[in-house]
């Protein structure tokens, strides 16, 4: 049932967008032309990329490793129809950047908390996995930010605890979170506030991936799960009669591509390539393709701390 939902959505979407190598035979003709228009896969790399490849030749022809936490459908998850592939906005964006600089990507699936350690140990070259660029994390890696952050509050259907954000409404509630997520310290910061207000403290349950956090709510173990609004929407879509999104909240972070701190040239190359990809309109097209809010779009910056 759940699977069919997803497939249904995917089909609707594919019909609309007409994208993807596998569905090309379905949507021939006009749809195919649109596909060519929006999919970087099928079109040549943006014009400025040739110059970038000349300026940064070190990565041309290489295959780099992208560490991901493939548990966030829409951003990065395995393709339910062909589990040997990873699909999502981040995957497409990474491949566009790779195309621009002339490298290919392979993927290494790790837990969220292990993304940056995998990068700094040299087991991966780049991390494009819906990771929020915070000052704290920037001590472990340099970030090229590319997206604004909107969080959603996932609760059980009917929102029995009347939770409306990471605020006093969460006092006494059990919040499920991923280990290493930025929301974890935000919930922890509530503890003294709740105490001061004479309310019971919120409790935190830490899990290894989104699916486990969502299961915690379905099983009645947790009352809420605050995460990227798209992830929350996907969860509601998969379980419409059991879950709902209480609210979207803005979190003062940006999503970033993480690269090793000791490779500033690579960081600059990725930044330049991302700018080209954005200039060519591909970034915006991909947001639409994956049904993400276009308001997520953000011009890139570098976050690097000593």
- Phi-psi bin for 142: left (phi > 0), alpha (psi -120 to 50), beta? beta
How many residues at the interface with other proteins, by CB under 8 A? 34
122 binds other proteins (CB under 8 A): yes
Nearest to 118 by CA among 96, 140, 138, 99: 140
Of the candidate spans 75-83, 134-142, 189-197, 261-269, the one that interacts with other proteins by CB under 8 A turns out to be 75-83
256 binds other proteins (CB under 8 A): no
Query: Any contact of residue 206 with other proteins (CB under 8 A)?
Result: no
The stretch near other proteins (CB under 8 A) out of 25-33, 89-97, 108-116, 268-276 is 108-116
Using CA atoms in the order 291, 294, 300, 305, what is the torsion angle rounded to 10 degrees? Answer: -80
Which of 23, 193, 209, 304 touches other proteins by CB under 8 A? 209
Residue 80 is a binding residue for other proteins (CB under 8 A): yes
Q: Residues 106, 68: contact at Cβ < 8 Å?
A: no
Q: Which residues inside 218-247 make contact with other proteins, applying CB under 8 A?
A: 235, 238-239
Choice from 211, 247, 284, 302 touching other proteins (CB under 8 A): 211
The smaller minimum CB distance to other proteins, of residues 6 and 302, is found at 6
Determine, following the binding rule CB under 8 A, whether residue 121 of this chain makes contact with other proteins.
Answer: yes
Handedness of CA 223, 229, 42, 4 (dihedral sign): positive
User: Does residue 86 sit in helix, strand or coil?
Assistant: strand
Kindly tell me which residue out of 79, 95, 201, 301 binds other proteins, with binding defined by CB under 8 A. Answer: 79
In three-state secondary structure terms, 229 is: helix
Instruction: Provide the pairing of β-strand 174-178 with 203-207.
Output: parallel
Cα dist from 68 to 2, 79, 163, 271, 300, whole Å: 24, 14, 31, 19, 20
Cα-to-chain-centroid distance, residue 146: 11
Q: Which H helix or E strand runs over 157?
A: none
23 binds other proteins (CB under 8 A): no
Which of residues 84, 196, 252, 294 is near other proteins by CB under 8 A? 84
Interface with other proteins, residue 67, by CB under 8 A: yes
- Residue numbers of the site for other proteins (CB under 8 A)? 2-3, 6, 67, 70-73, 77-80, 83-84, 108-111, 114, 117-118, 120-123, 208-211, 214-215, 235, 238-239
């Amino acid at each position: 049932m759940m699977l069919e939902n997803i497939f249904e959505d995917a089909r609707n979407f594919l019909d609309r967008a007409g994208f993807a190598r596998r569905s090309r035979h379905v949507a021939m003709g006009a749809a195919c032309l649109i596909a060519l228009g929006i999919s970087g896969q099928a079109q040549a790399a943006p014009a400025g990329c040739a110059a970038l490849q000349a300026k940064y030749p070190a990565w041309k022809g290489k295959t780099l490793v992208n560490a991901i936490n493939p548990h966030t459908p829409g951003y990065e998850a395995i393709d339910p129809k062909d589990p040997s592939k990873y699909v999502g906005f981040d995957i497409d964006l990474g491949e566009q950047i790779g195309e621009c600089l002339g490298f290919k990507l392979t993927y290494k699936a790790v837990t969220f908390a292990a993304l940056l350690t995998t990068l700094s140990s040299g087991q991966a070259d780049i991390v494009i996995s819906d990771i929020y660029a915070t000052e704290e994390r920037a001590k472990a890696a340099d970030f090229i930010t590319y997206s604004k952050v909107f969080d959603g509050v996932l609760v059980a259907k009917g929102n029995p605890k009347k939770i409306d954000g990471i605020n006093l409404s969460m006092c006494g509630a059990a919040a499920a979170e991923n280990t290493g997520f930025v929301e974890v310290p935000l919930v922890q910061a509530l503890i003294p506030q709740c105490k001061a207000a004479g309310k019971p403290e919120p409790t935190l349950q830490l899990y290894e991936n989104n699916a486990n956090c969502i299961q915690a709510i379905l099983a009645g173990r947790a009352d809420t799960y605050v995460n990227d609004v798209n992830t929350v929407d996907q969860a509601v879509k998969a379980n419409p009669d059991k879950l709902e999104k209480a609210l979207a909240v803005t979190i003062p972070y940006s999503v970033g591509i993480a690269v090793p701190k000791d490779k500033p040239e690579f960081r600059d190359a990725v930044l330049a390539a991302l700018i080209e990809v954005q200039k060519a309109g591909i970034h915006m097209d991909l947001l639409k393709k994956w049904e993400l809010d276009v308001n997520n779009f953000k011009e890139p910056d570098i976050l690097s701390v000593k």
